[in-house]
Chains A and B, each alone.
Chain A
């Protein structure tokens, strides 16, 4: 508001000059502001169907022709470049005049806008008389639009890059050309569009400046943040903009993103040359003969207020590529395809089909459903460009039925395009091949093979056919039957396209092709460059049955000069024998390799097979060894994890019990020397690997120790997790009182037997090897001295005097006590995992 007031003040101060540059195209102008856009949207008329807007009220085309210079001796007359207006309903030429138009005419009400060198020109639609013109200096006329009496045109330069970037936007009286307002900027402007009292101007490929038509003041700006804006299109259906994709102008446009806007992705993005859905608004549309504009997608949006999608009229996109028309539905499924005799200079999508204007001046309406020519008009002009204002043209059918239409199918139409000899249009022919390859009819495989075999088929098309056949899963029977063909000079039969067929067979794993492939392997007419591929097919698709022909081939040629430099074919044959031939095959290969006459490349290839096998075996062995190693390590880790933190007394006792006989001998010997011997005690350290060290004996008599050392030195205990533990084991030599002995104890005899039995029956409890009086009573008070008089049967921890107890950690008890070994030496200490030494072991 303030801005407008300021501008108005400036305008007033300079005296109401209508063409004073007004505020627009400033880089400081805020963009994507919903509040700015809202009044613009509110002013737009509701969407309506496409309609004729020209002053005649009939479907009209204004065309440019290109000059003709007839060949010497020809009866044709020379013609100049002309401008002509055509009434499509009546078929009459309204007027024609010599005119070298540089740009395609725009039909704007009762005015036709075009340009000549250095000037933009307005002509009367009805008569063709020039109304006015304006010099352009060094700018190029881009396009114009009209609303009421106001016509807005743009000229610009610099769209292709470079430092010179200028744009001129001019609003004039349509009939007089009197300027109303104007902007000149340092930037590139595109074809403007008018609707609802506003001018929509694409600018610098990222912006749409929205100006008021009455004064040219910019009121809103749209800027894309993730796309390009190449055109704006204002139609009765609404305002649309975009570049490859299509946006619809509504409140969502202020988001400036694809995601946030009402947007439709570019239709037919995979079509050749990435066709645009609208002429690029920044480039002048040529009025002379040009390839520009011959590749395009045509559609008409449906009038709708929906904001979620952009439906198109008739659910149709028409892809025009020079002479070819492809009709797709909204899901991009091909509906029909058609070839016209001459290039199409312009088209227009209608409800009932597509109107085409061709170079030969022929206008045709191709029907919506099948692409049949339902209406046509021939103006006998050589056209360069055509401006159209036809609305939703719906003429009465007048075309004679084409007999070819009776048999026309989608398949035949695409084949017609693919096989068209026009080598300008190879990309579109390849596109037709791609579309064919997607169809399910098996015969299409044969069609593609036939097309490939034609000598006139260009390389790019052959490549497209090869790619198509490789992915095609139906029709493989035709690939196989193609192998029945062999070269014949007299009958002029070429070799089948094996370079095309074999990869497709391999891709589809067609086993039934082996016989044919073998025949071609043995056929001398199979080209050398494709021979390795053929043999590869034999090897990959065959089994042991292909070994004999492979052997024949390899044997026959292993010394021939034909494969002196390139032995790929021999190498593949050798590989096949190696793979399928078993031991016999390998023996043959070894023999061939050993022959001095075998060509060196063949020898190398054969040797390579064996080397690779050896290397693979070694690698596999290594992998297996590593796996075994890893498994062993894992098992060891698991085993280690399963180990106890430390050994229990029962586990310690179990080891000693297993060596009872050895111990008995030594102890009995000591008993003889010392009848008073009451016990023998072992105190030692167990390492976590089960070995022992620092073995102490009590009594430590030399003969006893000498006798015991070899025995106990070899003891191996179970492994455990902590690094080491102190342990002890006591052999009690005094039996329990007879009354207190169990019957079993009395029967079993000496201690070692009892100990063993107890171990078996009591699950290896810690009382094994202990005299009963050593078993601590749970509630017995700490006592000192004494010779450890027995107090009762053992078998349970804590049942005997505390000083007699042999702890797992070897401690002698909590308060020390008399030597309970039966020897007064008092040496030895059973050790203590916690570091406390039994009193009867010498301290370290």
Chain B
């Protein structure tokens, strides 16, 4: 037992090292460390039968280590034992860790158990389930995420909205607008990421009704998208210029910083930049501006 535990501990250290070095992209099945890297994992799916029994351990540390090792295997076949672990009911930290593990694995095999955990009574578990779903590339996911917008917990609604912004499509816009109307502020970001040019006008109708900061989070997405035409972006900038104020000024200054420095060859882009600069010049450096929403 002690030898087994020691071996697992060693494996866990390796696994933890791998995880800490992975980064966000690596969490979505990113590249393995390069050959010759001392951190290159030695853990493979062949170890599954060795590690899986440790999930039944009464020692939560062992269970956590086992989870980490399974994640390090980075194979869809580890989903089933993790799902079984989740369904067997564990302490909060283990449950959350297991949900996070499924997020890292991002396997469609996990959709079923994650779908169940969208209805877990603990909000943090539900939120993690939605976040894990968002990591999975599967056509079923956006529909499952929509359910989260109806949740009673604000953080869950927010997580679902953000997740939809990542993996959703225009098909999800309608419900996102409904959610935004119902004060799911994160829906602004999702709308900004998913909405086409025709959505901008609808989105702008909320200007003055929703906090300015919330509105700017959506405009932030619109303005940075390549598929949104310069004309529409110009309209956004000019509209924000009418609102004016310190927050808008700061927003436009940040946006200005995204333009290439020096001479811009693209005429439309150049004109857009000029509009931004002109708008900034019209906005006083301190004070002024129209009070809009509750966010200023």
Contact = CB atoms under 8 A, between A and B. Distances in A.
Interface of A: 487-492, 522-525, 528, 552, 554-562, 595-597
| Residue in B121, B126, B149 whose Cβ sees the most chain A Cβ within 10 Å | B121
Nearest to A592: B89
Contacts of A596: 58
Nearest to A486: B150
A524 B120 CA distance: 6
Nearest to A489: B150
Contact of A555 (B58, B87, B175): B87
A523 B126 CA distance: 12
B121 A560 contact: yes
Interface in B87-105: 87-92, 95
A492 B150 CA distance: 9
Nearest to B175: A490
B92 A490 contact: no
Interface residues of B, number: 23
Contacts of B175: 490
Contact of B152 (A489, A557, A559): A489
Given A488-B150, A525-B152, A560 B178 contact: no
Nearest to A596: B58
A492 B89 CA distance: 31
B90 A524 contact: no
Contacts of B95: 560
Given A556-B89, A558-B89, A487 B152 contact: yes
Contact of A489 (B91, B122, B149): B149
B91 A559 contact: yes
Interface in B71-99: 87-92, 95
B155 to A, nearest CB: 13
Interface in B152-198: 152, 157, 175, 178-179, 182
A805 B178 CA distance: 120
A597 B149 contact: no
14 contacts: A487-B152, A489-B152, A490-B149, A490-B178, A524-B120, A554-B89, A555-B89, A559-B90, A560-B91, A560-B92, A560-B122, A561-B92, A596-B58, A597-B60
Contacts of A558: 89
A560 B150 contact: no
B91 A556 contact: no
A556 B122 contact: no
B119 interface: yes
Nearest to B86: A556
Contacts of B126: 524
Given A560-B122, A597-B91, 7 more contacts: A489-B182, A490-B150, A528-B121, A557-B89, A561-B122, A562-B121, A595-B58
A529 to B, nearest CB: 13
B221 interface: no
B208 to A, nearest CB: 23
B210 interface: no
A489 B157 contact: yes
A150 B35 CA distance: 123
Contacts of A555: 87-89
Contacts of B88: 555
Contact of A556 (B120, B151, B178, B179): B120
Contacts of B178: 490
**5 nearest interchain CB pairs?**
A524-B121, A556-B89, A555-B89, A488-B150, A490-B150
Contacts of B121: 524, 528, 557, 560, 562
Contacts of A556: 87, 89, 120
B91 A561 contact: yes
Nearest to A594: B58
Contact of B119 (A490, A492, A522, A560): A522
B56 to A, nearest CB: 10
B87 to A, nearest CB: 7
Nearest to A563: B121
Nearest to B126: A524
Contacts of A489: 149-152, 157, 182
Interface string B213-253: 00000000000000000000000000000000000000000
A614 B167 CA distance: 56
Contacts of A522: 119
Contacts of B152: 487, 489, 525
Nearest to B179: A490
| Residue in A524, A552, A555, A595 whose Cβ sees the most chain B Cβ within 10 Å | A524
Contacts of A528: 121
| Residue in A528, A558, A597 whose Cβ sees the most chain B Cβ within 10 Å | A597
Nearest to A492: B182
A522 B88 CA distance: 16
Contacts of B90: 559, 597
B89 A559 contact: yes
B174 to A, nearest CB: 11
A596 B149 CA distance: 36
B202 to A, nearest CB: 17
B206 to A, nearest CB: 16
B89 A560 contact: yes
A519 to B, nearest CB: 11
| Residue in A487, A560, A595 whose Cβ sees the most chain B Cβ within 10 Å | A560
Given A560-B92, A562-B121, A490 B87 contact: no
Contacts of B150: 487-491
B94 to A, nearest CB: 8
Nearest to A523: B119
Nearest to A556: B89
Contacts of B92: 560-561
Contacts of A554: 89
A563 to B, nearest CB: 9
Nearest to B123: A524
B149 to A, nearest CB: 6
